[in-house]
Structure 1
Amino acid sequence: MSRARCERCLRPIDHCLCALIPALDSRTRILILQHPSEANHALNTARLAALGLENAELRVGEVFEDLAHWLNRADYRVCLLFPGEGAGTLEARNADDKPLMLVVPDGTWRKARKLIHLNPILAALPRVVLTDAPPSRYRLRKAPGPDALSTLEAIVHALHTLEPESSFEALLRPFDALIDGQIRAMGEDTFRRNHSQVVDGDQPLSEEGMPG
């Protein structure tokens, strides 16, 4: 028999994270495009980001028929958070600048590249990458490089860069609880044996963390 799950955070009822999820506002709009293979993953950090941010939206799929409509917002400047030729770096915005809509593909590198390939409008967007990213706190998934971040961590660092006057650290509270809970469930010995010195590989979105 399957365990009852919270309809909001999708965690088992006895491990619900909703009490830790904040409701934070931001000038920056976050649009997360999640590959379907990530939607039911136990470590779905993109969902935590979407739940914790008032100005965020999570869409799941491979081909997004309405993508042009979602991106057609005159009040935002749209950028894709993904490495690529000519990608710029995120910088703090002045209060008078037009805010960004940051499109964030969520999935493994191969799946994220597939999303961009299947949705040419994404490939046409100007790209931005993170700089000076902190070490990942995601200790349960292997990363292609030391600068790799989970999707949630990448979004938090991007928001701190764009809006340094605000704090988005509260977004990491359910994330930390999720990771700690998974480690407790597997046992400390198993964790150390299989995951020691491991970080997540969802979003290595800095120049240094570009995939090979």
Structure 2
Amino acid sequence: MPRPSCPRCQRPESHCLCPLIPHLASRTRVLLLQHPSEVGHALNTARLAALGLENAELRVGERFDDLAGSLSDSRYRACLLFPGDDARPVAEVAGDDPRPLLLVVPDGTWRKARKLLYLNPELEALPRVTLPAGLTSRYRLRKAPMAGALSTIEAIAAALDILEAPNRFDELLRPFEVLIQGQIEAMGEETFRKNHGS
């Protein structure tokens, strides 16, 4: 019989993260597009990000037929947080126009995120923005596929720190860090060190 879980954070009730999830305001709107394979993941950081930000929305799927309406909201400038040859630093893009950004963030493995772009041509058409080089992930349970690779929630917090400066979004990462620490404790320190280094 499955353990009862919290309907909001979807963690087991005994490990509910809701008391740690902040309620942060931002001018920047965040639209998270989550590949369905991520929904059941123990570390569903896109969900945590959406719950912690007032101006965020999480949609789950592979094809998003209603994207055009969201992307054409004239109050915002839509851009895609995803690397690419023509991607510009997010700090540079922030000063282009007084309107805040609509930051579209695909959530999934790199392969699944690329599939979301392929299946939704509106995403491919968006200007791309990237984070500064040299950021280090706190995601100690997963080997980064490339230098500077961050989890979804870390990438959003880093982007908002830049776009909304001097406001900081460290609080967004609190439930994420507790979640990771819980996973490490569950596997045991020795197993963690053996598999993931010190």
Q: Which consecutive residues of structure 1, in runs of 5 or more, have no partner in the other structure?
A: 198-212
Q: TM-score, normalised by structure 1?
A: 0.89
How do residues 54-203 of structure 1 correspond to structure 2 at under 5 angstroms?
54-91=54-91, 93=94, 97-196=98-197
Q: Measure how far apart 1:145 and its partner are.
A: 1.8
Q: For residues 129 and 135 of structure 1, what CA distance do their matches in structure 2 show?
A: 14
Q: Deviations over 1:47-73 (max 9, x none)?
A: 110000000000000000111112121
Q: Measure how far apart 1:85 and its partner are.
A: 2.4
Flag the structure with higher helix content.
2
Q: Which runs of 4+ in 1 moved over 4 A?
A: none
* Aligned partner of residue 91 in structure 1, secondary structure: helix
Q: For residues 85 and 177 of structure 2, what CA distance do their matches in structure 1 show?
A: 33
Percent identity for Structure 1 against Structure 2: 66
Aligned match of 2:43: 43
Report if the CA contact (8 A) 1:133-1:157 is conserved. Answer: no
Residue 6 (structure 2) pairs with residue 6 (structure 1) = yes
Q: Measure how far apart 1:132 and its partner are.
A: 4.1
Aligned match of 2:23: 23
* Aligned partner of residue 113 in structure 2, secondary structure: helix
Q: TM-score, normalised by structure 2?
A: 0.95
Q: Deviations over 1:99-125 (max 9, x none)?
A: 000000000010000000000000000
Q: For residues 120 and 133 of structure 2, what CA distance do their matches in structure 1 show?
A: 29
Aligned match of 1:209: none
Q: For residues 60 and 196 of structure 2, what CA distance do their matches in structure 1 show?
A: 28
Q: Measure how far apart 1:178 and its partner are.
A: 0.3
* Aligned partner of residue 105 in structure 1, secondary structure: strand
Q: For residues 33 and 133 of structure 1, what CA distance do their matches in structure 2 show?
A: 25
Q: Measure how far apart 1:133 and its partner are.
A: 4.9
Q: For residues 38 and 4 of structure 1, what CA distance do their matches in structure 2 show?
A: 20
Report if the CA contact (8 A) 1:90-1:130 is conserved. Answer: yes
Q: Measure how far apart 1:193 and its partner are.
A: 1.2
Q: What letter is aligned with 1:23?
A: H
* Aligned partner of residue 27 in structure 1, secondary structure: coil
